Chains A and B, each alone.
Chain A
Amino acid sequence: MRKETVITILTAGILAAGCFLFFLFLYPYHNLLKEQMTLFLHSGEHFLTYLSKPAWLAGYTGDLLTQFYIHPAGGAFLVTASLLAEWLLFRCVLRKFGMRSLFSSLIAAVPVFIEYLLHCGLHYPLSSTFSTLVALVTLIAFMRLRSNSLYYWLALPAAAMLYLLAGHGIILFTAGWLTGGILHKGRRWYFLILPAVCSLALPLLLRAPFLLSPTQAYKYPIREPLTLSVDMTWEKILALDYESQQENWSRVLLLSREFGMKNRIASYYTNLALSQTDLMGEWLFHFYQPGSAGLFLPATQESTPLMITFSNEVFFYLGDLNMAQHASMLGMVFSQYHRSSRLVKRLAEIHIAIGDAPAAGKYLGLLEKTLFYRKWAIKARELNDLENIPLREKIPSIDTVRLADDYITSLEILLQSNPENKTALDYLLCYHILNKDIPSFRQAYDKWVHPSDVRIPGVYAQALIVSLYQEGADNETLKKYNMTSSVVSEFMDYTRAYEEANGLSAPLQERYGNTFWFYYHFALIQ
């Protein structure tokens, strides 16, 4: 074997291993999300849905394999393998163009590197890489044609077929065919330009029956805006999202601490984890808080699709299942094919908890047609018949109607129906605290918290002492609220320190940075 070949193979091997390890250990959550946002069903009807748009083969194969992203190793392997295949095929094409071996290997790495960056985006589908692979295979087949007339006359039918099977790959194929015709087959460019133009016009001509806009027609099966970068901010957010779904609440808090992100979605998951570990009243200000915006994510016209997808999580744990259903359905409509395994699963859970067996059955039926959710769905069917489902107890029994962003009414109704709903209580108290709305906090506290011997969680005590101080409460009242002397003296210390700091936050940051008092004076609510 030539030294050059050995170097090439070794380099490619090392880069492939690096790519695999990168997606396995450093960047697994993007791929996990992509799996969750598709729903691949093993059924004939499902296959037929791919025929309503171009890229039948690429779309179907891509989604079929995206199921295996459910494990980080599956995602890492498939992305690496497809990139490697793409590099080999590009290299082969460049060699057919007459490029030297080492140079062709280097040049072939350029589009593959771009493809790698695209895979680091939030929505870039595997089907797009398959579109490129199909185009390259077709191009190589063309380059092998001995007959020049076949090379010429078959181009347009092949391009049409390619568009139906692989979508945007038609652009690459046509560019390659034109270049190959000039370099490899020795044809004059003006002789080839007509079929090339016709091929490139095909997406425009065929877009009407597929109901695609001109841009979509050339990009299909890519549907989302493309990004060309490794986005570690999103990777961290997705880590919090994924671990929350797995109910690894301690890990969410650890990761949140480690990341130290100033991001609304990160706060959203951190707060959810705090509530589920019963630490919301203690540690709320140990993490970044963008005001009450860090408690809920809105599902409105202004929200991004992923915010809508994530917004069901808090409602689900609160027991506000109508809102959770609303957010899940919207999230699903915004997913790539308007089907999402994660959200179908969530909708099944919601309807099981509601006790709506036919609706739950519909979603479980879908999951039973999948490879990896089938077992879960079969097991969940047993729950469908159960009466005692813990989440059901949280569902409000008192009715009202509220707007989608009327969180206070939602929380009040949850507590009216079930005063033991600790998650709802924490969210209500923290909602007022994060809005610095002391009177509302006090009102909610008096209404829903029963003074007892139990110690008041730190953050609530800090807010309560402010309220009591404002009304000039006496010792008797402080005692009634079970307010400890340490909280009172710490509050006095803070007040003195605040006055001495002359409105500056820096002198107070170290000692009081994690208190409500510091937040009250210095945080800017978004």
Chain B
Amino acid sequence: MRKKLIIPALAALLLWSSCTADISNAELRAGYPPIYPDYCGVTVPCNIAPMHFQMSDNAIQVRVMAEGADGKSIRVKAREVVTFRISEWKDLLASSTGSGLQVTVQAKYRDKGWVRYDPFTIYVSPVPMNDFLVYRLIAPGYEVYSKMGIYQRDLGSFLQTPLLENTLIPGNCMNCHSFYGNNPDKMSIHIRGELGGTILKAGDKIEMLNTKTEETGGNCVYPYWHPSGEYVVYSVNQTIQAFHAIRERRIEVIDLASDIVVYHPQSKQLLTNDLLRTDAFETFPSFSPDGRTLYFSSSQSQNIPEGYDKIRYDLCAIAFDPQTGTFGDHVDTLIHAAAMGKSISFARPSPDGKHIMFTLSDYGNFSIWHKEADLWLYDLEDGSLREMKEVNSNDVESYHSWSSEGTWFVFSSRRLDGLYTRPFFASIDKEGNITKPFLLPQKKPLEFYNMTLFSYNVPEFVTGKVDWDLKEVEKSLTTGQRDKVEIRR
């Protein structure tokens, strides 16, 4: 009997000693630990989900201590993924708001034993970002579709729930989604295909629209809500998809024609103006936070496809009167990008109206496949331009949107593997300081991002969970009944 007890006890002692004995002698190594995702020195909002990570090298064991400003700490031992309990993580963030967490990583290697890296800091901003992120998951960049969906992710946890998947409406494609001022109650989604139409959700009410008119010649595509919620501006695009020959470039989506219209849901009318429906290409519209200016990208038309690389979009603006739904009598060019040999897409004004964030690429509007595409900031007060070097990489940075408080923004980047876009978050303060971006946290980040074969497309912040009756949406889609919209001049 004694023998039976002694042997397991000795084994346990041996195991314990093997785990602990050599750690105090860990070799110190200058530099931050090689972790995935790279969270060293990032700034996070105080409401972010636990930022699990793992060693991106061949470490066989990891010990981590995350220490808050008040001395509270979490200790984690892991073989693979360093995970933090959600309650402990929330406590730690709460106690470190305005300062940061110091994370010390010790890793064990088969050949070197234990190694201790320089501690790194995760700064915790007191400003929370919006609680949810809505995005489309789609195979990268192709026009024939089989599987795609729009999903919402609780940013304080790992919960992702679908808003709509095209398994419900097979053979149809879900286009851009847009929310009224990050409000989950008011949204617009366009569906392409046999059951195509524009879904407009306002509170519990769901409307299905046919936005194609003889005069506009196509459906409303890229949406942006007016800050009053009374209007939605859309571009109407006729596009083709074309393919590059060389290995450095891949796909272009080129406008054959594009104009801008403003939809007034109350009267079911489209407002147009000759200045927004010219022979030039007008696209990617957005409203200023005061609702009195309409921004858009505009390019001289070119012969397609041979002139594809001469299409360069300037950033333009036109006055808009929300009371009457009328437009100004002239268009201002805010940034003459074509003169710089560049092209602007996705102009998104900050909620405080001080900046416009946009994507700058060499030509065209399909910046999502342009490796040179980067984020830039236009200062509306002094008219200065600034490259957002803090967040740009050698690969694509493209679609971006603001959190409602105007500090946080999310953007799509292909920096991880050059193929699949992933959402990154960063913040900008009143002085214009931009923080190092961080990747959307996942339970098992490396496994998750390596395994998924879908891109995160059009990431948009929302302040709460989008709550809609999926059966009602499905019914509205499948009945085929669509409210016609009319043109108002």
Q: Which residues of A come within 8 Å of B, CB atoms?
A: 41, 43-46, 208, 211-213, 216, 299-301, 303, 305, 308, 320-323, 325-326, 329-330, 332-334, 338-339, 354-356, 358-359, 361-362, 365-366, 369, 395-404, 410, 413-414, 417
Taking CB atoms, residues of chain B closer than 8 Å to A359 are: 417-419
**Chain B at the A interface: mostly helix, strand, loop or mixed?**
loop
B448 near A: Cβ within 8 Å?
Answer: yes
The 6 closest A-B pairs by CB, nearest first: A401-B242, A396-B245, A211-B165, A333-B139, A399-B246, A354-B247
Taking CB atoms, residues of chain B closer than 8 Å to A365 are: 450
Instruction: Report A359 CB to chain B, min CB distance, Å.
Output: 5
Decide if A403 touches B242 in the complex (CB within 8 Å): yes
B277 near A: Cβ within 8 Å?
Answer: no
Contacts A/B (CB < 8 Å), 25 sampled:
A43-B447, A45-B444, A46-B451, A211-B168, A211-B470, A212-B168, A216-B167, A303-B144, A320-B245, A322-B244, A325-B250, A326-B251, A329-B139, A338-B453, A358-B418, A361-B417, A369-B451, A395-B247, A399-B245, A399-B249, A401-B242, A401-B243, A401-B245, A402-B242, A413-B245
Decide if A326 touches B139 in the complex (CB within 8 Å): no
Contacts beyond the supplied A322-B245, A330-B142, A365-B450: 13 A-B pairs with Cβ under 8 Å: A45-B448, A213-B170, A213-B474, A301-B143, A322-B247, A330-B139, A330-B144, A333-B144, A358-B418, A369-B451, A399-B245, A400-B245, A414-B245
B146 near A: Cβ within 8 Å?
Answer: yes
Taking CB atoms, residues of chain B closer than 8 Å to A399 are: 244-246, 249
Taking CB atoms, residues of chain B closer than 8 Å to A213 are: 167-170, 474
Q: Which of A326, A329, A334, A401 contacts B252 (CB 8 A)?
A: A401
Q: How far is the CA of A208 from the CA of B140 in the complex (A)?
A: 26
- Within B150-200, the residues touching A (CB, 8 Å) are 162, 164-165, 167-170
Nearest residue (CB) in B for A403 is B242
B388 near A: Cβ within 8 Å?
Answer: no
Q: How far is the CA of A209 from the CA of B54 in the complex (A)?
A: 32
Q: How far is the CA of A333 from the CA of B169 in the complex (A)?
A: 16
Q: Which of A41, A212, A305 contacts B146 (CB 8 A)?
A: A305
Q: Which of A299, A354, A400 contacts B144 (CB 8 A)?
A: A299
B432 near A: Cβ within 8 Å?
Answer: no
Nearest residue (CB) in A for B248 is A399
Known: A362-B450, A401-B252. A396 touches B147 (CB 8 A): no
Decide if A45 touches B246 in the complex (CB within 8 Å): no
Taking CB atoms, residues of chain A closer than 8 Å to B305 are: 400-403
B123-152: CB near A (< 8 Å → 1, else 0) gives: 000000000000000011011111101000
Nearest residue (CB) in A for B249 is A399
Taking CB atoms, residues of chain A closer than 8 Å to B240 are: 403
- Within B442-460, the residues touching A (CB, 8 Å) are 444, 447-448, 450-451, 453-454
Instruction: Report A448 CB to chain B, min CB distance, Å.
Output: 17
Taking CB atoms, residues of chain A closer than 8 Å to B481 are: none
- Within B276-332, the residues touching A (CB, 8 Å) are 305, 308
Instruction: Report B336 CB to chain A, min CB distance, Å.
Output: 25
Q: Which of A299, A334, A356, A369 contacts B418 (CB 8 A)?
A: A356
Decide if B144 touches A300 in the complex (CB within 8 Å): yes
Taking CB atoms, residues of chain A closer than 8 Å to B244 are: 322, 399-401
Decide if B418 touches A396 in the complex (CB within 8 Å): no
B471 near A: Cβ within 8 Å?
Answer: yes
Decide if A410 touches B451 in the complex (CB within 8 Å): no
Q: How far is the CA of A413 from the CA of B165 in the complex (A)?
A: 39
Instruction: Report B431 CB to chain A, min CB distance, Å.
Output: 35
B25 near A: Cβ within 8 Å?
Answer: no
Instruction: Report B444 CB to chain A, min CB distance, Å.
Output: 6
Taking CB atoms, residues of chain B closer than 8 Å to A45 are: 444, 447-448, 451
Decide if B139 touches A338 in the complex (CB within 8 Å): yes
B440 near A: Cβ within 8 Å?
Answer: no
Taking CB atoms, residues of chain A closer than 8 Å to B246 are: 322, 395-399
Instruction: Report B97 CB to chain A, min CB distance, Å.
Output: 32
Taking CB atoms, residues of chain B closer than 8 Å to A216 are: 167
Most buried by B among A46, A308, A397, A401: A401
Decide if A339 touches B242 in the complex (CB within 8 Å): no
Decide if A362 touches B419 in the complex (CB within 8 Å): yes
B383-419: CB near A (< 8 Å → 1, else 0) gives: 0000000000000000000000000000000001111
Known: A212-B168, A332-B139, A333-B147. A326 touches B453 (CB 8 A): no
Taking CB atoms, residues of chain A closer than 8 Å to B416 are: 358
B228 near A: Cβ within 8 Å?
Answer: no
Q: How far is the CA of A465 from the CA of B155 in the complex (A)?
A: 71
Decide if A44 touches B471 in the complex (CB within 8 Å): no
B241 near A: Cβ within 8 Å?
Answer: yes
Taking CB atoms, residues of chain A closer than 8 Å to B149 are: 211
Instruction: Report A387 CB to chain B, min CB distance, Å.
Output: 14
Q: How far is the CA of A510 from the CA of B170 in the complex (A)?
A: 50
Instruction: Report A459 CB to chain B, min CB distance, Å.
Output: 27
Taking CB atoms, residues of chain A closer than 8 Å to B145 are: 333
Taking CB atoms, residues of chain B closer than 8 Å to A301 are: 143-144
Nearest residue (CB) in A for B139 is A333
Instruction: Report B142 CB to chain A, min CB distance, Å.
Output: 6
Decide if A212 touches B243 in the complex (CB within 8 Å): no
Taking CB atoms, residues of chain A closer than 8 Å to B170 are: 213
Nearest residue (CB) in B for A213 is B168
Decide if A334 touches B146 in the complex (CB within 8 Å): yes
Q: How far is the CA of A339 from the CA of B454 in the complex (A)?
A: 10
Q: Which of B164, B243, B453 contacts A322 (CB 8 A)?
A: B243
Nearest residue (CB) in B for A223 is B167
Q: How far is the CA of A417 from the CA of B254 in the complex (A)?
A: 25
Q: How far is the CA of A355 from the CA of B450 in the complex (A)?
A: 19
